[in-house]
Amino acid sequence: MIYTIKSPALLIIGILMLVWGGLNNSGSIDGMQSYLQKSAYGDHMKVKEKFDAEYRVAKELAASEGSPAPDMKMKASKFDQVKAEQAKLSNVFGAVFVLIGLFTLVWKPTNGSLDYFVSVVPGVAYILLIAFIVRWGLDPIFANWGKAVKDAGILTWDFAHILNLNYVVLGIVIGMIIVNIFKIPAWAANGIRTARFFLKSGVILLGTLYSAAELAQLGGLSVILIGIFVLGSVGIVLFMGKRMGIPNSMTAVLSAGMGVCGVSATVASSPVVQAKAEEIAYTIGTILIWGVGCMFLFPTVGHMLNMGPVQFGAWAGTGILNSAQVAGAALAFDPHNIETLKVAEIFNITRVLFLPIIVLWLAAWYVKHEEGAEKVNLAQVVIAKFPVFVLGFIAMFALSSAGTFAPAGHYQGKYFSSSEVKEDKLLKGKETRVLDSELMRLREPDGAKALAKYLADTHVVSEGHNVTTTEVYQALGDLATNRKLMSRQQSDILKSVAKMEGFDGVAKGAIENAGKAATHDSKNIKEYRNWIAWLFAFGLIGLGMQITGKALKQAGGAPLIIGGIVGTLKAVGSLAVVLMFVKEFI
Amino acid sequence: MKSIKQLSFALITLGFMATSGASYAADAHPETPVSAPAGVKLVDAKQVQELQAKGATIVDTRKASEFGEGSIKGAISVPYDPEKSAKSADFNAAEDKFDTAKLSDKNATIVVFCNSGTCWKSYKAAVALSKAGYKNVNWYRDGVPDWKARKLPME
């Protein structure tokens, strides 16, 4: 059988990509890109203003000396780098697709693997084109809108952020729109089947983002509490799914989504249990609807029960499913202090770090249940059928925990390091003088009283105890002496203290600068994050293209019911536990 | 049925493009006017030095953290922060925060600056000061990048 279908589509997609690459290189779409790549453009304006000023001064100088105008070149900004990357990707893939497209048109296919590989290319190109549109167009547009609507005061929350309208959800939605309105063109069908392969590659790389060493830095109670609730909800979903006769793959994906951390856990576990595309969509839909409901309900309940910041943070971090909504609820509960948000984040991170365990569990569970009731040797079956790429994920997680890609204590590539603060990022003399005088002020009787009152009122905690004024003095003094932050704890303490009424603005700015200087983002992991985003966008667009209206109807409402029951159990259960055991400290 | 679906999709796409286009147009990066607002004098680096020698107050309107990283030597930090109003000459100062407690003397000579061109903080601060009755407000539009390029004293 011949797979290759003769169609000019591949050639056209290749040309479109080359056009985009060319437009980026020529700078003729800079206006539009400055809107889409907002933060990179901010950097561009800074670099440009510096260059313009230097050039103007150099020209004035040259004119006064009667020499010709100097020849100067502007340094590449982040904006230039972003455009260059888009141009490079578009040009490389565009050129390849044009060549293969031309080849297909003149070639007489014969049976064999060449025919099969060529037949896959148009579909891959089709998804990649959509992935470009999603990641470079829709994702930033929605992010801009979310901010604009919030800034305009129409909503008090960023809808794009809270509803996860990033490339993950947008990719699935776009795929669904295309399949339900236009049908998949015949020339693309073969390529679209490769989506799962890319998704699996993405999951393997996902292992690099997490590190077991981070878990060790988190509080003991958060690990125990989260462990019980994560594993408990996964267990309950698996049990209920079996009882209600829902397909194993659906049950398993839903359990990961309800148990761990919403969208990314769902995506990561979907290939483990060979979940169908519509099952993934259902799970994500259930999680998001449930999460948004929680985001509004939790703060109200928290205030009604008069919960403290640590209690509420622990509850939100345990009970709410998706990271963005956890942060949303914590901020809604307490917009002025970072304490609640910090605690919620600790619980949230703990939950995410359970992902490797869940993936292993689900892989074993799925293999066992798919093999049917016949009593075969479980160990043998698991070894024979265990998805190999899960081992890749676990291996990456292990390497990441060992510090192969970034210092072992990192979380998604970000880590604190005092020794790596660059020379030019050390605090300036002016800043240390202001810090010194703040230290003096806070040591005087009036200042000391105000500080002690502030520490007590806002429950500033560190490593399981209330922060004392002595610790604040120590941290401020250390910062002024070393011109950099020496530890994460001191960084957290000073960030809280800087929010105090009457704290000097420049000293607060110095603490911010020192915090930025000591927080590093691993280059390797940044690169992996970018790759993961591409692989997931690609995989999810392809999966979205398999979700028809009919398939959604067949999957039915059962996941919504289970999701609702388990979600409620988790919310109420964690509330009870938090109220009983969590006092003020983690 | 099929054609209705496709038609509605086309309409939604058009609507999407129109809104994103509109929000793009509303979001250019405008530069400040090249002439000073009413009641304010536009000055260049040389004039700033002369005014400073005569005892003028040099005011950095950027964020306090930027001031800490390096500013015109002898300047004080009075941040126009947070700046939420529109970047245009008819901005609404009520949306922003600018605490002038450090500038008590309304007859003193004051020079405000931030970064050049697209930075509106010093422009808005100058307008706010002039409206509040400060008599000798000067606006150094070229700001820090210009000062740095001229290798004038920073701290």
Using one digit for the tens of pLDDT, what is the confidence trace for A28-77?
888 888 888 988 988 898 898 889 888 988 888 888 888 887 888 888 99
Evaluate whether residue A92 is within a structural domain.
Answer: yes
Residues A307 and A332 in one domain: yes
Radius of gyration of chain B (CA): 21
Q: What is the pLDDT of residues B114-132, one digit of tens each?
A: 998 889 999 999 999 999 9
B43 and B9 within one domain = no
Last residue of a domain, which of A152, A179, A210? Answer: A152
Please state the pTM of the whole predicted model.
0.82
As a whole number, mean pLDDT of residues A288-301 equals 82
For the cut 50, the answer to whether the pLDDT of residue A181 exceeds it is yes
**A400 and A452 together in one domain:** no
Please say whether the beta carbons of B152 and B71 come within 8 A.
no
- Give the pLDDT confidence score for residue A101 in this predicted structure: 94
Q: What percent of chain A has pLDDT over 90?
A: 26
pLDDT-derived band at B23, boundaries 50, 70, 90: low
In which band, very low, low, confident or very high, does the pLDDT at B111 lie, cut at 50, 70 and 90? very high
Q: Are residues B37 and B93 in the same domain?
A: yes
Residue-wise DSSP of B116-148: STT--HHHHHHHHHHHTT-SEEEEETTHHHHHH
Burial (CB count <10 Å: 0-12, 13-18, 19+), residue B101: exposed
The ipTM, to two decimals, is 0.85
Give residue A373's pLDDT: 44
CATH of residue B78: 3.40.250.10
A585 confidence band (pLDDT: 50, 70, 90): very low
Task: Report whether A59 contacts A69 (CB < 8 A).
Answer: yes
Same domain, yes or no: A222 and A293: yes
Q: Which of A41, A429, A509 lies nearest to residue B63, judging by beta carbons? A: A509
The alpha-carbon gap from B57 to the nearest alpha carbon of chain A, in Å, equals 17
Contact assignment for B149 to A50 by CB distance below 8 Å: yes
**What's the total number of domains in chain B?**
2
d(CA A179, CA A30): 33
- CB-facing half-sphere around the CA of A151: CA atoms within 13 A: 13
Residue A280 to residue A270: CA distance in whole angstroms: 7
CA distance A195 to A276: 12
A32, A41, A509 ranked by CB distance to B64: nearest: A509
Chain centroid to Cα A369, Å, comes to: 32
pLDDT above 60: residue B61 = yes
Residues A508 and A532 in one domain: no
Inter-chain touch A49–B6, beta carbons under 8 Å: no
Mean pLDDT of chain B: 89
pLDDT at A72: 86
Together in a domain, B106 and B127:
yes
Q: What is the pLDDT of residues A63-95, one digit of tens each?
A: 888 888 788 888 899 999 999 999 999 999 999
Domain that holds residue B17: 1-30
Is the residue at B155 inside a domain? no
Residues 6+ apart with CB under 8 A from A548: A179, A180, A278
Q: Is the Cβ pair A427, B68 closer than 8 Å? A: yes
Q: Are residues A331 and A248 in the same domain?
A: yes
Asked whether residue A140 falls in the same domain as residue A82, the answer is: yes
Residue A400 burial (C-beta neighbours within 10 Å; 0-12, 13-18, 19+): buried
Number of domains within chain A: 3
Domain end call among A152, A168, A183 = A152
DSSP string, B18-55: HHHHHHHHTT--PPPPSSPPTTEEE--HHHHHHHHHTT
Q: Which residues contact B59 (CB under 8 A, 6 or more apart)?
A: B75, B76, B78, B103, B110, B111, B112, B113, B125
Q: What number is the average pLDDT over the span A397-412?
A: 85
Closest Cβ opposite residue B67 in set A50, A58, A506: A506
Are B58 and B73 members of one domain? yes
| Residues B6, B21 within the same domain | yes
- B142 and B79 fall within a common domain: yes
| Domain of A278, in residue numbers | 196-413+522-581
**Do residue B19 and residue B94 come from a single domain?**
no
Asked whether the beta carbons of residue B5 and residue A49 sit closer than 8 angstroms, the reply is no
For residue A17, what pLDDT is reported?
96
The answer on A401 and A453 residing in a single domain is no
Mean pLDDT, chain A, integer: 85
Are residues A79 and A226 part of one domain? Answer: no
B118 touches chain A (CB under 8 A): yes
Structure token digits, residue A84: 């260059």
Measured in angstroms, the CA of A163 and the nearest CA of chain B are apart by: 18
- Choice among A15-19, A294-298, A436-440 with the minimum mean pLDDT: A294-298
- Specify the 3-state DSSP secondary structure of A218: coil
Residues of A with CB under 8 A from a CB of B: 31-32, 34-35, 41, 45-46, 49-50, 52-54, 56-58, 141, 144-145, 148, 151, 177, 180-182, 427-431, 434, 505-506, 508-510, 512-513
pLDDT of A192 higher than 60: yes
| pLDDT tops 60 at residue B26 | no
Please report whether residue B118 resides in a domain.
Answer: yes
pLDDT band of residue B24 (cuts 50, 70, 90) is: low
Residue A559 preceded by cis peptide, ω within 30: no
SS3 (DSSP) at A422: coil
Q: Is the pLDDT of residue A375 over 60?
A: no
